[in-house]
Structure 1
């Protein structure tokens, strides 16, 4: 078979698996809605004045949400000296921003669909949590918002979850092509599906009305735009690559995605900072996974 014939055969093999954006949008609309309190919390991310007492009371009245939040607040991830028994105590000890992102993260994880035959859900969330922890550690050293970084890191790959659960056959074809060609994930998705998990994740983030900063972090986490430099999207981009390089998620044969030189330079991470990020991420990763089971 000539080279041109091989190319035509490849194109014929992937052609039937193309996914239209309208089809993705329709499937996203069919996903369960986020709890009202989570939407309310997300809307406060960009608000300077928030009625903390009222939101704390609202969280407390949702028994499942409050119980999950307290279990995580009392986990070794936060290392509190004494047990927290109420949402108000959690806010006093951890701060409202941390509790807000904690409540939102836990509720979103439980609202999203389970894994499909071609996506190991446990490995997926472990990689996501590792990226969240790494992003928070980078944010602390670059003096950027740690809670934005944590939530963005946790949700950066949600587009993969949508593709794997809503389009299982097409997603399987993309993964098979990725493995056959030893290609990057996003390249395989674009080649086979005509859309990648960044775009799908961005569509979900827009539908759920996430803050613009989190939308950009999800939608650009493999290729930060100019406006993303020196900000949370660049942090998530770098954190994702670090976690793949450290193999914290345990994904078999996962390639380390390339890092944008501009994004890397914009964060101004020196060797000492990087060593600290590597060490802290490795130390905190397993404990942070308690959020997933809370």
Structure 2
């Protein structure tokens, strides 16, 4: 019995908590896309056929793919053209985002519209930064940007007072957001987002970057994976732009990790400010 094993007994509440948080299963369409992309020679026609099987999703994907953020040379009129203009990986990343929005909903009546709007902008900002700075793959940056805060939506659904917790955590000037969450709920949105990313078959780099996206020491850790470090560093620049777009005078997260991001990206404060201004122009046009 667990009462005779303190270690097991101590772990039980955490295990029970994790089981009580609804992690939506990986959509079968995403699994099919990932299976095709994992082949030695993935076929664009097969990717198009998988996406085209869901007419609603295909239409939504085309609308998203034609956004100026993704750099298509001209508007795509079909999934085949979207794949030709953007590449299979970017199209699959856009599809994963649409599927996430469909799968991650609230059973408690909490509106997630603002959450998804912000997540979409973050993903777009990550793609912009990846391309502009020639760091990493834009589709990986997009996937991280969209999924990094999915744990927030899941915890809003699990805890009636999580909204107040997250608000307090994001207004904390010194401590990590995740520390505040852990104190109040014995878990945090980075851990839950990491769990969802792993269950959905996202890459290990994206999964680990989600787990550490409020742990800015990882940027300075030369032993950490470069993709993880770059995603976390770029996310700080994206967050600064998002805060500015919302009218915030400063980005508290940038104050916590901006120096590490600048050092890793080999950029000065003025260069970052220029990038943020460019992002704001993209957001408003």
Q: TM-score, structure 1 length as denominator?
A: 0.74
Alpha-carbon deviation of 1:114? 3.6
Task: Render the CA deviation track for 1:129-176: whole Å, top value 9, x for unaligned.
Answer: 33223322332214311110111011111111111112224x256347
2:155 corresponds to which of 139, 163, 178: 163
Look up the match of 1:235. 230
- Is the CA contact 2:149–2:190 (under 8 Å) kept in the aligned structure 1? yes
Distance in 2, Cα, partners of 1:187 & 1:253: 24
- Is the CA contact 1:159–1:197 (under 8 Å) kept in the aligned structure 2? yes
Distance in 2, Cα, partners of 1:179 & 1:266: 24
- Is the CA contact 1:128–1:154 (under 8 Å) kept in the aligned structure 2? yes
Q: How does 1:96-111 map to 2 (within 5 A)?
A: 96-111=88-103
- Is the CA contact 1:114–1:121 (under 8 Å) kept in the aligned structure 2? yes
**Which of 273-282 and 212-221 deviates more?**
273-282
Task: Render the CA deviation track for 1:60-109: whole Å, top value 9, x for unaligned.
Answer: 12211111111222344446565422111111122222211111111112
- Is the CA contact 1:189–1:196 (under 8 Å) kept in the aligned structure 2? yes
- Is the CA contact 2:262–2:269 (under 8 Å) kept in the aligned structure 1? no
Distance in 2, Cα, partners of 1:251 & 1:21: 40
**Is 1:250 equivalent to 2:242 in the alignment?**
no
Look up the match of 2:137. 145
Q: How does 1:30-179 map to 2 (within 5 A)?
A: 31=24, 33-43=25-35, 49-78=41-70, 82-114=74-106, 121-140=112-131, 141-169=133-161, 171-172=162-163, 174-175=165-166, 178=169
Q: How does 1:191-202 map to 2 (within 5 A)?
A: 191-202=183-194
Partner SS state of residue 20, structure 1: helix
Which blocks of at least 5 consecutive residues in structure 2 are unaligned? Answer: 1-12
Task: Render the CA deviation track for 1:174-208: whole Å, top value 9, x for unaligned.
Answer: 34764997765322212111221111111111222
Report how many residues are paired: 264
Distance in 2, Cα, partners of 1:179 & 1:207: 27
More relative contact order, 1 or 2 (CA 8 Å, 6+ apart) = 1
Distance in 2, Cα, partners of 1:201 & 1:251: 27
Q: TM-score, structure 2 length as denominator?
A: 0.77
